[in-house]
């Protein structure tokens, strides 16, 4: 398998993080420009959730990016690593949706567990 295919899940995560930055800018804009007087406005309430989720994109995903780069550098990427990478990306998208749109902490924890296990499995395959 060609190793460069792992660049696509990496690029997808970078694109998702960029989307979250744009979203955060949009929900902050009314307050910055003085259009919103209260934090109780509909979009203003999303600011903290988007901000927290954006912060999450620089925590566990760091281990995802490192393992992908190591697979590419070592030249031993197998289809299972690519599948795990895409599972991680799908999990990140679902995790963001759950964290930003709902208050369901149990579901968010379950989705995070999927992300967590996908990256752990990638590291397992890297080390064996």
pLDDT digits (tens, 9 = 90+) for 29-78: 876 676 666 555 666 678 899 999 999 999 999 999 999 999 999 998 89
Tokens for 68, please give them.
């992908």
Handedness of CA 53, 58, 60, 62 (dihedral sign): positive
Q: What is the CATH number of the domain that holds 44?
A: 1.20.120
Indicate whether this model's pTM tops 0.85: yes
Cβ(103)–Cβ(31) below 8 Å: no
Q: Which domain holds residue 84?
A: 3-127
Distance CA 53, CA 65 (A): 17
Cβ(3)–Cβ(75) below 8 Å: yes
Tell me how many domains the chain contains. 1
pLDDT value at residue 43: 66
């Amino acid at each position: 398998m060609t190793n460069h295919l792992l660049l696509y899940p990496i690029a997808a995560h970078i694109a998702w993080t960029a989307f979250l930055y744009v979203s955060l800018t949009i929900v902050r804009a009314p307050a910055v420009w003085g259009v919103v007087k209260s934090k109780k406005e509909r979009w203003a309430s999303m600011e903290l959730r988007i901000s927290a989720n954006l912060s999450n994109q620089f925590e566990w995903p760091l281990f995802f990016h490192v393992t992908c780069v190591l697979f590419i550098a070592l030249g031993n990427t197998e289809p299972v690593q690519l599948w795990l990478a895409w599972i991680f990306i799908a999990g990140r998208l679902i995790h963001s949706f759950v964290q930003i749109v709902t208050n369901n902490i149990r579901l968010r924890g379950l989705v995070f567990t999927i992300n967590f296990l996908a990256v752990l499995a990638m590291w397992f395959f890297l080390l064996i």
